């Protein structure tokens, strides 16, 4: 298979309501969407980064320029017999994992379509439905948080995750646990705590949490391992796990007992699968995180989450949780058992609504 044309576009798809983490607010999805072509068949991919480098170092501008100036020329017109060969094609590119991942997932989609194969099946997915949870940003106050929990639990989501930061941790958890003593509940700090605040994190052990996600710095393993050794609750790493090697280091150090896998953060589907296999071998549960992707990235995540090691509910809500209208014609809807149905179509399964995509496109480049 030879890629003969690539379309790259920056989009802005507004959220229904802004999403507040410990350090920033997101008002919409600012992904870079790529479409790759080979002999008239097309595959779609998404690099779901923001405009500002708050979650990771990359932004929609850096992704766009790297894809345009470097990555596409490396892969264009090359004979690709399997998408795994992209790791070799991009081997001299350091970092820029979201930029690589967007192109890699488009090539996976295209390649599966040419083989009339479904991505989930091809990757070894075993589930027809995947359990999903909801991630709640930091609201104005506790009352609002409780009413959001109520809303999403009544829709059927299987677990609640709340964003925390120093000063917004013990109190909201007390409130939730008083009302719902047994729900699956976890917290995510996006790196907001320093080691000096370890006592607060240790005190969260009594709230029967599924996990405490990324309390310390986005690149840290050491302080996470200090925390993990002192508490029963599993520490989960998100931002710190940027590659299979980083996952191995974290397991050797006992820096976490759960890993959140996002294909973009680790450089694509191949690395995500390798991390899944490493964790499965070491009996470390994994789950699929989310970057508030459009239906394209979401379809990739659902396919990935169908693999057997993804035993915890993912941050993969129904599309309508974030968008009034998504750029796909087949948005995921929440089943009554708190799951999403894994696509069965060729490729990752997202059917792109190009008319609407054009409306929310900020700029578009074609390279051939």
Give SS3 for 346.
coil
* Residues 6 or more apart whose Cβ sits within 8 Å of residue 327: 11, 13, 33, 294, 295, 296, 352, 353, 356, 357, 360
Task: Find the shortest distance in angstroms from Cβ 260 to Mg ion.
Answer: 6
Residue 95: both structure tokens together: 């970092």
Q: How many degrees, rounded to 5, is the angle at CA 56 between CA 21 and CA 316?
A: 60
Which stretch in 10-18, 65-73, 211-219, 249-257 sits in contact with Mg ion by CB under 5 A? 211-219
Which stretch in 16-24, 111-119, 181-189, 246-254 sits in contact with Mg ion by CB under 5 A? 181-189
CB-closest chain residue to Mg ion: 238
Residue number with CB closer to Mg ion (109 or 238): 238
Give SS3 for 115.
coil
Among 7, 104, 188, 326, which residue interacts with Mg ion (rule: CB under 5 A)? 188
Catalytic residue among 206, 262, 355, 368: 262
Which stretch in 169-177, 188-196, 202-210, 265-273 sits in contact with Mg ion by CB under 5 A? 188-196
Residue number with CB closer to Mg ion (37 or 287): 287
In angstroms, the CA 88 to CA 94 distance is 12
Site string for Mg ion, 131-170 (x = CB under 5 A): ----------------------------------------
Contacts to Mg ion from residues 212-271, by CB under 5 A: 213, 238
The answer to whether 262 is a known catalytic residue is yes
Backbone angles phi, psi at 170, to 5 degrees: -65, -50
**Tally of CA atoms within 13 A in the half-sphere of 292 that contains its CB:** 26
Which stretch in 81-89, 187-195, 199-207, 346-354 sits in contact with Mg ion by CB under 5 A? 187-195
Residue 46's closest CA among 117, 100, 118?
100
Which stretch in 32-40, 50-58, 209-217, 225-233 sits in contact with Mg ion by CB under 5 A? 209-217
Task: Find the shortest distance in angstroms from Cβ 238 to Mg ion.
Answer: 4
Cα distances (Å, whole numbers) of residue 56 to 3, 62, 63, 97, 243: 29, 11, 12, 10, 14
Task: Find the shortest distance in angstroms from Cβ 264 to Mg ion.
Answer: 12
Residue number with CB closer to Mg ion (213 or 293): 213
The answer to whether 35 is a known catalytic residue is no
Backbone angles phi, psi at 216, to 5 degrees: -100, 180
Q: What burial letters (b/e) apply to 245-261, b meaning 16+ CB within 10 Å?
A: ebbbebbeeebbbbbbb
Residue number with CB closer to Mg ion (7 or 213): 213
C-alpha torsion sign, points 116, 348, 127, 232:
positive
Task: Find the shortest distance in angstroms from Cβ 217 to Mg ion.
Answer: 13
Residue number with CB closer to Mg ion (109 or 239): 239
Task: Find the shortest distance in angstroms from Cβ 289 to Mg ion.
Answer: 6
Catalytic residue among 121, 163, 174, 196: 163
Task: Find the shortest distance in angstroms from Cβ 188 to Mg ion.
Answer: 4
Measured from the Cβ of residue 217, the count of other Cβ atoms closer than 10 Å reads 17
CA 91 distance to own-chain centroid:
23
Enumerate the active-site residues: 163, 262
Binding site for Mg ion (CB under 5 A): 188, 213, 238
């Amino acid at each position: 298979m030879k890629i003969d044309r690539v379309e790259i576009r920056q989009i802005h798809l507004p959220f229904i309501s802004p999403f507040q983490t410990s350090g920033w607010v997101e008002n919409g999805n600012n992904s870079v969407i790529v479409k790759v072509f080979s002999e008239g068949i097309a595959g779609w991919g998404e690099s779901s980064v923001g405009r500002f480098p708050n979650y990771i170092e990359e932004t929609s501008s850096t992704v766009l320029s790297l894809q345009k100036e470097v990555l596409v020329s490396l892969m264009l017109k090359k004979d690709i017999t399997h998408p795994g060969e992209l790791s070799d094609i991009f081997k001299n590119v350091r970092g820029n994992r979201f930029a690589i991942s967007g192109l890699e997932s488009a090539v996976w989609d295209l390649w599966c379509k040419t083989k009339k194969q479904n991505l989930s099946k091809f990757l070894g997915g075993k589930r027809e439905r995947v359990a999903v949870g909801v991630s709640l940003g930091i609201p104005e106050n506790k009352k609002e948080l409780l009413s959001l929990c109520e809303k999403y639990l009544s829709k059927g989501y299987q677990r609640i995750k709340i964003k925390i930061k120093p000063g917004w941790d013990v109190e909201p958890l007390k409130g939730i646990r008083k009302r719902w003593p047994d729900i699956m509940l976890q917290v995510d700090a996006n790196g907001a705590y320093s080691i000096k605040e370890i006592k607060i994190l240790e005190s969260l052990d009594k709230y029967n949490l599924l996990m405490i996600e990324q309390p310390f710095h986005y690149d840290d393993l050491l302080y996470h391992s200090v925390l993990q050794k002192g508490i029963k609750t599993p520490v989960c790493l998100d931002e710190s796990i940027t590659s299979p090697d980083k996952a191995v280091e974290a397991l050797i150090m006992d820096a976490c007992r759960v890993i959140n896998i996002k294909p973009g953060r680790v450089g694509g589907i191949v690395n995500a699968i390798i991390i899944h296999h490493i964790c499965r071998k070491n009996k470390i549960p994994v789950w699929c995180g989310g970057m508030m992707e459009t239906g394209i990235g979401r379809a990739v995540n659902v396919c990935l989450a169908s693999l057997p090691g993804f035993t915890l509910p993912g941050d993969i809500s129904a599309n309508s949780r974030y968008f009034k209208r998504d750029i796909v014609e087949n948005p995921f809807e929440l089943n009554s058992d708190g799951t999403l149905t894994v696509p069965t179509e060729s490729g990752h399964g997202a059917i792109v609504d190009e008319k609407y995509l054009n409306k929310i496109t900020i700029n578009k480049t074609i390279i051939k």
